[in-house]
Amino acid sequence: MAGYEIRTCYEEGWAALRNGELLVAAEAAQFDVFITADRNLRYQQNLGSRRLAIIELPGNRLALIERLVPAIRQALTGATPGSYQIIPLP
């Protein structure tokens, strides 16, 4: 997506981190937005105190993500620290 720097957990060396550890690492690395397909994240973590904006996708398959690019762009536009947005299936 032009205009955004996108990194995966694997690229950052965070593949073994889970839930809270992953969010702490992303905040420490000064990421602004965390995009995930983990539908349980909002129930497992206290997200209100996060500096990250979080966007939840309905899945992580590349074909689905490619279809969701317009919705992801819109969510990024409205992302603010501590916000949580859910992108539904198209």
Instruction: Kindly give the residue spans of alpha helices, DSSP state H, lying in the chain.
Output: 9-12, 19-28, 41-44, 62-77
Q: Domain residues for 77?
A: 9-86
Q: What percent of the chain has pLDDT over 90?
A: 73
pTM given for the model: 0.90
Segment 41-52, tens digit of pLDDT: 878 777 778 899
> Average model confidence (pLDDT) for the chain?
91
Provide the domain count of the chain: 1
Query: Could you give the 3-state DSSP secondary structure of residue 64?
Result: helix
Beta bridge partners of 86: 56
Q: Is the pLDDT of residue 36 over 80?
A: yes
Q: Residue 63: its pLDDT value, please?
A: 96
Q: Is residue 34 part of a domain?
A: yes
Q: Is residue 3 part of a domain?
A: no
Q: Is residue 1 part of a domain?
A: no
Q: Residue 14: its pLDDT value, please?
A: 96
Q: Residue 3: its pLDDT value, please?
A: 84
Separation between Cα atoms, residue 7 and residue 65, nearest integer Å:
14
